[in-house]
Amino acid sequence: MQIGAKHLSWSAMAIGLFAQTALLAGAIAITNSSTAQAQVGDSDRPQNRKSTTKSASPRPKTPKATPPVRKPSTAAKGLIVSPSGPYRSIGDAIADSPSGGRITVRPGTYSEGVIVDRGIQLIAEGAVEDVRIESPDKDGILIDTDEPVTIRGFTIRSVAGRQGAKFYGIDIPQGRPIIQDCDISSDSLASIAIHTRGTNPTIQRCQIVNGAAGGVFIYEGAQGKIEDCNIWGHELANVEIKDGSYPSFLRVKIHDGAAGGIFLNSGGSGVFEDCDVYRNTLANVEIRDPSKPVFRRCKMREGKQGGIYVYGNGQGTFENCDIVGNSLAGVEVKTGGAPTLRNCRITGGKVSGLFIGVDGLGLIENCDISGNTFAGLEIRERGNPVVRGTRIHSGQQGGVFVYEGGRGTIEDCDIVENTRAGIEIKSFGNPLFRRCRINRNGYEGVWVYERGAGTFEYCDVSANQRGAWDVSADATVKRVGNRE
């Protein structure tokens, strides 16, 4: 009896242990099944996005939602966006990516506005025209993070204008993103907006094209590096810089705008090096207000109006630039404008080479002004530049024309081989010439008439076709130490 009882007790214990094991295995299976279902569902669940509604005041930031727990193994490999999945939305992939993650986007058209709110690499796979972000009601891309961001190889469009809304192709209000090899436009606002002090993106090898407003609009003290890009065909200025912003442009083509090429105002400045600015409807470069850009080794050519227009107390420095073949003056300065031009070539203008109008100023040093249809240098209405070491030659009319109260100080210049007079002064013009060579001109060296005036000190006025001087009785000319 005791043996049987003991045997029964061990059997009961075995049965109980087996039951507990089965229950535990069932619980584990249920838990694993629930976890698998949650992981499958997360990849397709819609993510909350921030509102991008525009307003006249700065757009308030919406608090970020707590990010979901993500799968480390998937993030480590990077995410794939494709019309066939696993992600069909770039925004959903960004929501599931950790900071520093990589998202590859395969060919297709993605009808969404993309908000980049964390550090990522967003890389298109295939030709740029085959991978399109086309936003119907928002910015094409909004950068909403200070973390490192790289975007490469997309066609980016905001088409919000179709619904009467106004958004940018790319809006960059913060951070230092790198944007490369993209084709960017908007049908309502600028193709690219860069704004807010401290914002400093790098934009390389991009086509920025055919926007309904401006091309690249930089404001609110922002910076930016724009390199090897092609900016063209916009309804407003291809490039506008204002509010103390100070970007740099290197090897950029800026052309064929329905308005101006580059417009700097309200203290906007920047550095432009090795850029080609051409065939814009208004001035290729327009500077006003206390704006002080620097241009080095740039071309301003074939403008449908002027090459460079500086007015309203605008300034600017131009070094080693070519200003060629513009329909109006190569350079026009008035109303307190005061640019500095050094070692520049101003040639082939359809009117004057350098035109200094009402109250215009400026410093012109070691330039070459040649082959313009009217005078190489024209000064009127209290214009008062300083011109030094400059060669003014081969003009289709005269070399220097000063009239209607124009002034100016012209020193150590060569004024030679012009079709008409080397220097023409009338109607209360009163310039000062020092140590200039005024030779081999088709008319007189110096022609002063109709109450014109002027001072000539230590100039060489020899070897002109009609002699050195033609001064009318009503003119006033002071001559000191000249060679005739």
Is 162 exposed, middle or buried (CB count within 10 Å of its CB: 0-12, 13-18, 19+)? exposed
How far is Cα 226 from Cα 332, in angstroms, rounded to an integer? Answer: 27
Nearest to 291 by CA among 338, 254, 255, 323: 338
| Residues 287 and 312 sit within 8 Å (Cβ to Cβ) | no
Q: Is the dihedral of CA 270, 271, 275, 281 positive or negative?
A: positive
Query: What span, in angstroms and rounded, lies between the C-alpha atoms of 377 and 368?
Result: 11
Per-residue pLDDT tens digits for 90-112: 999 999 999 999 999 999 999 99
For residues 273 and 297, the answer to whether their CB atoms sit within 8 Å is yes
Pair 342, 367: CB distance under 8 Å = yes
Across the strands, what pairs with 186? Answer: 158
Cite the beta strand spans of 331-426 per DSSP E.
Answer: 331-333, 340-342, 345-347, 354-356, 363-365, 368-370, 377-380, 386-388, 391-393, 400-403, 409-411, 414-416, 423-425
> What residues in the chain have per-residue pLDDT under 70?
1-77
d(CA 386, CA 397): 22
Separation between Cα atoms, residue 65 and residue 46, nearest integer Å: 13
pLDDT at 59: 34
At 203 the pLDDT is 99
For residue 359, the model assigns a pLDDT of: 98
C-alpha–C-alpha distance, residues 57 and 86, integer Å: 39
Q: What is the pTM of this model?
A: 0.85
Homologous superfamily in CATH for domain 323-484: Single-stranded right-handed beta-helix, Pectin lyase-like (2.160.20.10)
Residues in the chain: 484
- The domains of the chain are located at 323-484
**pLDDT score at 28:** 33
How many CB atoms are located within 10 Å of the residue 300 CB?
31
pLDDT recorded at residue 160: 97
